[in-house]
Amino acid sequence: MAIFDKFQQLAATRQSMAKSGIRSIHVVMDRVVSATEAIVNGQPLILAGTNNYLGLTFHPDCIEAACDATRTLGTGTTGSRVANGSYSAHVQLETQLAEYFSRRGVIVFSTGYVANLGMLSTLAGPGDVFVIDADCHASIYDGCRLSGAEIIRFRHNDPADLDKRLRRLGARIENTLIVVEGIYSMFGDRAPLADIVAVKRRYPGAFLVVDEAHSLGVLGSHGRGMAEEAGVEADVDFVIGTFSKSLGAIGGYCASDHPELDLIRYANRPYVFTASSSPAIIASTRAALGILSAHPELRRRLWENARRLYARLQELGYHLGPEPSPIIAVRFARREQAYSLWTALIERGVYVNLVVPPATPDGSSLLRCSVSAGHTPEQIAAIGAAFADLKTSCRAVFD
């Protein structure tokens, strides 16, 4: 059946996984106990693969805000804001985010994926150009493709290669958007954003979009992300991000000083034709944003946990991502190694993400840990101990 031929590679991958004893990487959690614990098939697991960077999913203020909004406003909006109108809470969240980012305006989206899809496909069109980091997230690629604009990739985190590709555009630079991320989701490495901005300044007319999905709440003295950390917020035209990491909910946003942002709202098909977020999500996000702003100690605790686990895995001799980060990628040349060790970690009470090609940028396979401020020192030690045990009990896998 020709329509299904395109899935043959996927079928082969699943067969390979089955031979390694993995029926599915779609883990079903019977019960989530806390921001860092769950029960799977009756077994308690430490959650070390959830992107719950500040551990806010079980914060009582967020839960109470969500419950109160549901009781007051119902379970859903049942339509888009353009068709059904905006709840006052949506407008209040946009105002709160604009104040937090010190930006003129914000658009809130139903998911982070829709934020990238909507903004990138609307900002550019045929005749325009995207110059994007080669390791950008799938949602960035999809938004760029949907726009119909030309897509040019530059080597990951390589400002010199970006400069070379911008130089070739000549007069087309005024129709060009540069797109990078703050922290990259696979290896946890940061963009050299100050150097990228220095390149951008040499090409007046070019725009810069930074996806801060994994850096919101993680970097910067106020947690605003890589642009704040690098001191270049004024040079970033559009900040895009998500509520599904540090803010512990689901949704997305775009913040900008360009007055045209509000016009983009009405030309943005994914925004216009997607139902707006439920009152509960908006309320819990607003509560989480307040907690993020008021409690910088969460960020400090997150980085203490991240550095401690990175140092332990490095000491054990694992091949890791290039720098300590709340995303810690344990890298393997062969996917069979990752399959076996992922299963072995679950048996030892630790859940991490299993990531295999083509989802990885360089063709390696990963056991991807994401660390949380909610992890206790004992849990970080237990994750390290599980990885240490693999080195002895699964020695053949490493050969």
Tens of pLDDT, residue by residue over 89-133, are 999 999 999 999 999 999 999 999 999 999 999 999 999 999 999
Strand partners, 46: 37, 350
Q: Which residue has the higher pLDDT, 27 or 80?
A: 80
* Domains of the chain by start residue, with CATH: 2-58+296-398 (3.90.1150.10), 60-294 (3.40.640.10)
User: What whole-number distance in Å separates Cα of residue 36 and Cα of residue 379?
Assistant: 9
Query: How wide is the angle at C-alpha 29 spanned by C-alphas 26 and 35, nearest 5°?
Result: 115
- The DSSP secondary structure of 210-269, one letter per residue, reads EE-TTTTTTSSTTS--HHHHHT-GGG-SEEEEESSSTTSS--EEEEES-TTHHHHHHH-H
Cβ atoms of 260 and 207 within 8 Å: the answer is no
> In the chain, pLDDT over 70 holds for what percent of residues?
98
Tens of pLDDT, residue by residue over 257-306, are 999 999 999 999 999 999 999 999 999 999 999 999 999 999 999 999 99
**For the residues 28-45, what does the mean pLDDT come to?**
95
Tens of pLDDT, residue by residue over 169-226, are 999 999 999 999 999 999 999 999 999 999 999 999 999 999 999 999 999 999 999 9
Flag whether pLDDT at 361 surpasses 90: no
Tens of pLDDT, residue by residue over 126-157, are 999 999 999 999 999 999 999 999 999 999 99
What's residue 311's pLDDT?
98
Mean of per-residue pLDDT scores for the chain: 95
Q: Is the model's pTM score more than 0.75?
A: yes
Flag whether pLDDT at 161 surpasses 70: yes
What's residue 23's pLDDT?
64
